[in-house]
Amino acid sequence: VHGTVPDINSPSGHTALSVAVYVMLAVLFASQIKSSLRVIPYIAASSLVSLIAISRVILKYHTVEEVLT
């Protein structure tokens, strides 16, 4: 049928891109910190990625399986 969207499960590109960008930034920032506070950029990156993944599911753009793949 013309104009219908096929029912295909595809991974969330938003989640994958956010993992790549935020983890890279966390590594860069953590390398500049010389104390036990080095873990903070990693916690911030993990929190941001988790919020993005959860928002994709809540807004019904993706299923949980698509976000986790």
Name the helix (H) or strand (E) containing 68.
helix 64-68
What confidence score (pLDDT) does residue 16 get?
84
Instruction: Supply the DSSP string of 9-60, one letter for each residue.
Output: ----HHHHHHHHHHHHHHHHHHHT--SGGGGHHHHHHHHHHHHHHHHHHHTT
pTM: 0.74
Distances, alpha carbon 7 to alpha carbons 43, 51, 57, 62, in Å: 35, 26, 17, 12
Helix (H, G, I), strand (E, B) or coil at 63: coil
The residue with greater pLDDT, 13 or 57, is 57
Q: What is the pLDDT of residues 15-59, one digit of tens each?
A: 788 889 999 999 999 999 989 899 999 999 999 989 988 888 898
For residue 8, what pLDDT is reported? Answer: 60
pLDDT of residue 45: 95
